[in-house]
Structures are given as C-alpha cells and as structure tokens.
Structure 1
Amino acid sequence: MPSPHPPRVKPRPKSAGFAAREVAAASLASILDRGRPLDDAFEAAIARCGPLEARDRAFARLVVMTVLRHRGELESVVNAFLERPLPADSGRLWPILLSASAQLLMLETPPHAAISLAVDQCRADPKARRFDKLANAVLRRVAATGKDVRVTLDPIAANIPPWLLGRWRETYGEAMAREIAAASLTEAALDLSVKSDAEAWARRFGGVVLPTGTVRLNRAGAGRIDQMPGFADGAWWVQDAAAALPARLLGPVAGRDVADLCAAPGGKTAELAAAGARVTAVDQSPPRLARLRENLARLKLDAEIVEADVLAWDPGRTFDAVLLDAPCSATGTIRRHPDILHLRRKDDTSTRVALQGKLLDRAARLVAPGGRLVYCTCSLEPEEGEAQVARLLEANRELSRLPIAPGEAGIDAGWITPAGDLRTLPCHLASPEPGLSGLDGFYAARLGKRD
C-alpha cells in the first residue's frame, strides 16, 4: 500500500552562495515581520547562520538593501504569478521569494543560480519546504516576464508608504515630494570627513571634494571601508555631507567647551574634537558609546565621554556651545537606511516629538550666556524640525535665531529656509554621475543666548 505522505525531498548539499542568501532571508524576516532595525537584524542573522566571507557578506547585505528599497515593486511582481495568497505558516518563503526576485530583476544574478538556491532555501526550511515546487514555478515566471510587470509600476507609489508620501506632498508640494522619494530610493554615495587636505584624499580615491569640504566617492567602487587607505591611520571617518554641517554652524570652537548631546556614534564629536574643541559627548546607549570610543581611538582624538540620559544629566556647569542631534524619525536617511520605510508608522511621531521638545529645553539650559545652540535632526518632517525651534523661541526669550548665510560652511542658498535655518533634501546636490548625487535630509537651526 503506498504511503499517504509524499517522500520528503532532501535539500542538496549547501552550495556557494547559499549561506549569503540564508542571511538575507533571515534578515528580511526579522525586519519585515518583527520590526527589527536593519543593522541589528543583519548581525543577528550572521550570528545565527554562521560567519561569511567578505564578498558573501557584501552580497547578502546588497540583497537585503535592494529588497527594502524595492519591496512594493517586488511584491507586485511576485503576486502577479501567485494564484492565491501564501498561508501564514509558510516559514521564510516570502522573504526567499522577494530575495530571489530582487536578484533576478535588479541585481542581474543568473536565473539558474537565483532560482535553484531559492528552492534549496525552501527545502532547508521546515515550514517552507512543501512550497519548493511553487517557488520554482513562480521564480521561473519572474525570470521570464517579471520585468514586463515591473515596467507597468510607478516605483514611487509602489515603494514609498502612502502616508509618508502624503506628508511630503503636504510639506514640499507634489513635484518636490516625488523628487525626494526618487532620491530616497537610490543608494547613497560614500562621504568622508577628512582631518586635512581634502583635495589630496579626493585625488587618491578618485572622488570629488564637495563645496562643503566633504570628500565624496561612488560607493559602488569603494570596496571595504576598513581596507581603504587612511582608515587605520585615522585620517578620515565616514559621515554624510549633510550630517557634517551642523557642527560647523557653531563657528570656531578651538579651545571652547562644547557639549555634544545624543552624541553616538560620534561623527560630530570627531568634527568638534578635530577642530580643537574641549568636547563632552553625552549618550545613554552603552553599545553606541563603545562605537564612539572606538572611532575616537582610531582617529586619535580626545573627548570626555559621559554615559547618561541627557534629560537627567547635570554637569554642574554650562558650555560655550551645545549641539543637540535629537532622536527622530530619520526619514532623511532612507538612502542609507531603507528599513525606515518599513519600520516607521503614521502615528508614531508624537512620542518622538515630545522627547525632542524636552531635550531641546534641556540643551538650552546648558548654554552659557553669549553661547550658541545648534539643534538638528535627520528628519524631513517639519514637526521634528522647524516647529520645535519655533516653540522654543516662543517660550525662551533668552534665545534668538542666528541665521545661516549662503556660502557659510559651503552651504548652498537653496538649502536655507526663509527663516535662516538649514534644510537639506535627499534630492539636493544633484550630479551628472548618479553615484555622486544626493544628501541626507537634515534640518538644523542655530540659536544664540543673550549675554
């Protein structure tokens, strides 16, 4: 009598590339199903699946980043070839299908490799193994005609959450909202803040020096950052060109006492220390502070590091200058952190806004008479930027805005708001070479305290 259960198909021995794809699928499952941030999810997946060679690690991360940037398009393509929705208990089938589709449609992976390894992944997953034939059939159709489905889609509408795109339309207008969205879905360039001789480093790397002084490289050709010349010597650090601007708004800081609040991972602390400031860097996250210490040690720079909640921290003194890079929705950094598209929700801003207000009030009290305060966020949302400063100035008559002048710190006039604040957008700093275009979306205001 034949068995009522079909024989279980045994997965083939793990082939080259299997582990990288397992890390990609595990990372995506953690991000999309459990809301875990990309970096945490990726490192946890590697810890669980085993270490990867540098090349495989880079490929796994590329797959994850590609899916996160193009999830809407990929889901539309895959769904076009499914007769019915997948059941809830299908294991990692969905991230496997999305990962393989990204390889087929966007990364130009040979179809036989992308499909066969995806099928092997299904067979290795106890809950997905019964769908191995379905995965094979669907992915073959994706390889054959998936591009025809994709060209019918609006990538902006498909990949940007409607609530977020709606906010950008309301704030910036339809045309600019689409420019912001399109830029946010591209890979960011590699920006370096250098201690000295930016032109020489740009020539060495084949990059360019931006008007702001940042050295910019095309990330696609940069290779491993820790293997690049000057890294081990502490000659430079990675920092988006927009993120490098707020510290410069404090003006000359050599020999002055500066508090860098919410400082980790330390790019702005490094800027201030390199400029000769006596920096006190405050953050409440031990892991992020550990990274800050490592960065300063590599850069051979000094700062007083304080592990504390800024709201409870009482140094018993004031500072010549205070820089507050407040926790925010980070919607200006989607180019680098596409997981933000999937982790943020329409109704989760109010808690952050309330915290930002408290932090800003606290920062203002730490500024000495005659001192400066710079408040910044990497958010595109006005309630996390312009509205916070307007509220502070209304409540605190000791403070006044110190408008930013065009050309100051290399700042383009188009990045300055009518009130005199900094507002960069992902679509700013366009270049004929796409790999050298764009900025993180940043807001910064400079305030002075009355003597």
Structure 2
Amino acid sequence: MTQTGLPARRTAHYLLMQITGEGRLMAELIADGAMARLDNDDRARAQRLANDALRGLDRADRMLKPYLKKAPPPHVMNALRLGVIELCGGEAAHGVVNAYVEIVARNKRTQPMKGLTNAVLRKIADEGPAGWDKRAVPLTPGWLRQPLVAAWGREAVTGMEAAHFAGAPLDLTAKTDAEAVANAVGGTVLPTGSVRVPNAGQVSTLAGFAAGDWWVQDAAAALPVKLLGDVKGLKVLDLCAAPGGKAMQLAALGADVTAVDISERRMARVSENLQRVGLTAKTVVSDAFEFTEDGFDAILLDAPCSATGTIRRHPDLPYAKDGSEFGALIDQQEAMIDHALRLLKPQGRLVFCTCSLLPDEGEVQAEEALARHKGLTIEAPHLQGIDPDWITPEGGLRLRPDYWADLGGMDGFYMAVMRKPA
C-alpha cells in the first residue's frame, strides 16, 4: 500500500458500497474501471480487502453491534466493517483508525460521525484478533440461507458457510500431465485429477503459465467434461462457453470443438485462452437459441444460473443479489436444455450443468427434462475420485462447497449426462 494506505482503502470502501447498496457484482465493477487508477499493489489489496470484508460481513456486524446504539448510514457502516477486518487481521490500529475516520469525514453527510468511527474502531482494536476468533462462522444472508437449509439441512449449510468463509485455493487443469504441473507449481493432484495450489500468488508468474501447460479451473468445474469420457474425434458443442475452461479441456482431449457464447468480449477471452495454451476450437459469438447448427455427437451446456455454488471465490454474490432473478433463470435453463437436445445427433449426449446449490437449477431440471422428452435417459457418472454419495437419485452428480473440507472444498455444481434416444 501507499504510506497511508488510503487509495486502496477508499477503493475497497467504494466496492463495498456498490455491492451492498447498489447490487453490483465485483467483476462488473472491475470491468468498469473501479480500480483503474490504482497501481498493481493497491489494486490487489483493495480487492482482497473488499473480499475479506464480504466473507466476514456477518461476523464484523456482530462485533460492531455492542458499540452501536443503532445502525449508522451505509457509508459509515461499511467503513467500520472494513476497519474491523483490518484490525482483527492484525493491522496497526493507528493507521487503520485514521484512514477510516478520514473516509467518513470526506463525505459531507457523514462527516459529523467521524468521532463515532474513531471511538468504535478503537474499541474494536482493544478486542483485536481474539475477539474476532471467538465469533461464529459468518452466516449466509437469509434470502439464500433459507432455501439452502430447506434443500440440504442446517448441518450441511454450516459446512458450506465454513467453506465460503475460508475462501478458495487455486485449482488448475493440466493440458497433459497433472503430476508434472503439480511438481512445477508446488501443488498437489486432487482425487479427480485437478492440481490445487495453496497461496498461489500472481497466477501469471507460476511455472508453465507462459508455456500454456495449464489453465485456471475449479476442480468441480473440471468434472462436466470428464463425464463424457473419450471424446477424441467427436464433434462437440460447448454452449455458453466463456471463459473457455471446458472448451480447452475438450480440445486437449482431441474433440472437434465449437464454442458458442453471446458475449463478444467474453468470447475474445476464450480465443486468447485457447491461443495461450496452444489449442484450437471454432469460436462463435451468438445467442444460444439463435445457434442452430446440429448433428453434434455431444453438447456441453453450462447454463446461466444463480452461481450460488461459487461463493467461495465470489463472496460479493449473496450481497449483490436477492434471488429475484431465479425464476427467469430457471425458465431459461429449461428452454436451453430443450434447444440443445434438438442440436444433438440421435444417441448423442448432453451434459447439463450449473454452478448452483439450488436443486431447482439442477436435480429438478434433470427430472423435468426426463418427463418432457420420451426416451431421454440419464447416464450414471463414473469418475475417478468422486464419492458415490454425491450421485443423486435421478443419476446426476451433486457437488457442494462442504465436500473435501480437509482438502479446501470445491465449488457447488450440479451435472448430468442426458442421452438422446435413437
């Protein structure tokens, strides 16, 4: 950080305000230039501080509650939350308190509350990390926690929340040799074949990045392609392909890949990623429903969804969203399954997957697809490293963040292989 740390802290405060107050996602804010004026170190620290605050928001609020007669305005509350995160992370009280007092004072509406900010943060500094550590794991916001408890039970959700709070290590998919990649980057090979790297630092500086030996992909996200088994020589469609991890997997396995995504910017990233790793695929910018080429041996549909399975890596999600878009997403997923099945050859296979923890975006979609399409079947998954308990009654695969707790967890995913009738 700079000497005062103020640029990074002000940016972290801005990010928190936009996410919790305006419902904007971190990725959207970064793409719009929220951190463009910061140097590289401050940019990384601002994002890390905002993410740490989002992961610990519920715990920070519990620490603050005894010192607040009523909730202050959001501008002040978010400054206090960030202060709690830093003070309980061991940062020097003098610099932290002064910085957030200044952030509060710079706003004309909240300037009179700089004294409150100073007093509360100094009390938090007295509690320090010990006060933080004795609090419970932060709870997921109620709008999401309630349906998760209904689906999986309180014990499972508590485990998910622990995984969300811990964050996610870096997972890599090797182009050819996972053991060689693990040795080069100081990682370990997971039971399903992904490489996990703790405390990875800057991704582009890891061994093998420039050579294209691997790409970043959560271990759970790497499994849908593996469900297809041997795809060498098959004509395979990757529908909703960005950022391209699954297209690269398919290409590395020898498939004739067509990658489709509606976003020109995101598809440019897919092309860049393919070029970096030395793989080829046909890339098409198109709405999924407007893409009508058929005759595919297999289709991978990673459908747009609530993304509730990715909170380990995207802690902004439960604060930027409120669930109001879920109904439209579920309808879209249903229509996409039907469209994808039309593009398959007879006896072709469709892998439907979503990075969601909600059964309505996973198990229920598969069950309803079976009911809509006579002769459609689901093939039971046979994959290295999976627990048989993860296989669902209809034949899909359910992954959750609380799985592999001793290894660092995984994203929440649902996936199923649907076989089109002859």
TM-score normalized by structure 2?
0.94
Which residue of 1 is the match for residue 399 of structure 2?
424
Amino acid at match of 1:102: I
Task: Note the residue ranges of structure 2 that are not aligned, 5 or more in a row.
Answer: none
Distance 1:437 1:244 in 2: 16
| Matches of 1:206 and 1:393, distance apart in 2 | 44
1:395 Cα offset (Å): 1.1
**For residue 233 of structure 1, what is the aligned residue in structure 2?**
211
Higher alpha-carbon deviation: 169-178 or 353-362: 169-178
Note if contact 2:259-2:283 (Cα within 8 Å) is conserved in structure 1. Answer: yes
Q: Per-residue deviation at 1:347? A: 4.1
Q: C-alpha separation between the residues in 1 aligned to 2:51 and 2:25?
A: 12
Question: Which runs of 4 or more aligned residues in structure 1 lie more than 6 Å from their structure 2 counterparts after TM superposition?
Answer: none
Please list, as runs of the form range in 1=range in 2, the aligned pairs for 1:148-163 lying within 5 A after superposition.
150=132, 153-156=135-138, 159-163=139-143
How far residue 238 of structure 1 moved from its aligned partner, in angstroms, is 0.4
Return 231-240 or 76-85, whichever deviates more: 76-85
Provide structure 1 residue ranges, at least 5 long, that are not aligned to the other structure.
1-13
Residues in 2 aligned to 1:79 and 1:229: alpha-carbon distance in whole angstroms: 46
Q: CA 1:202–1:149 in structure 2 vs 1: closer, same or farther (change >3 Å)? A: closer
- 1:34-79 Cα shifts (integer Å, max 9, x gaps): 111112224546446x1223x3222211211111111122123223
> Which residue of structure 2 aligns with residue 397 of structure 1?
374
- Equivalent residue for 1:143? 125
Deviation at 1:151, TM superposition (A): 6.0
Q: How well do the aligned residues superpose, as a CA RMSD in angstroms? A: 1.9
| Cα shift readout 1:108-135 (whole Å, capped 9, x = no counterpart) | 2111121122223233344433332221
Q: CA deviation at 1:409?
A: 3.9
Residue 80 of structure 2 is aligned to residue 97 of structure 1? yes
Q: AA paired with 2:116?
A: L
Residue aligning to 2:409: 438
User: Counterparts of 1:430 and 1:75 in 2: how far apart (Å)?
Assistant: 26
The reply on whether 1:19 has 2:2 as its aligned counterpart is no
- Kindly provide the amino acid, as one letter, of the partner of residue 74 in structure 1: A
Identify the match of residue 184 of structure 1 among 164, 176, 188. 164
Work out whether residues 319 and 368 of structure 1, in 8 Å CA contact, stay in contact via their aligned partners in 2: yes
**Corresponding residue for residue 38 of structure 2:** 51
- The one of 155, 159, 168 equivalent to 1:175 is 155
> CA offsets per residue over residues 348-379 of structure 1, 9 Å max, x none?
32111111101111011111012111000010
Q: 1:128 to 1:44 in 2, by over 3 A?
A: farther
Residues 330, 378 of structure 1: 8 Å contact kept: yes
- Name the structure 2 match of 1:338: 315
Give distance in 1, aligned partners of 2:173 and 2:131: 42
- The Cα of 1:146 is off from its aligned counterpart by 6.2
SS at match of 2:159: helix
* Cα offset, 1:273, TM superposition: 0.9
- SS of aligned partner of 2:288: coil
- Please tell me whether residue 213 in structure 1 is matched to residue 193 in structure 2: yes
Give the C-alpha shift of residue 150 in structure 1.
4.8
Q: Of residues 45, 48, 61 in structure 2, which corresponds to 1:62? A: 48
1:183 CA displacement: 1.6
Number of the residue aligned with 1:41: 29
Does residue 32 of structure 1 match 2:20? Answer: yes
- Residue identity in the other structure for 1:331: T
- Residue in 2 that maps onto 1:86: 72
Task: Report the alpha carbon displacement of residue 145 of structure 1 after superposing the two structures with TM.
Answer: 3.0
- Note the alpha carbon deviations across 1:170-214, whole angstroms, 9 max, x for none: 212222222122222221111000112211221222211012110
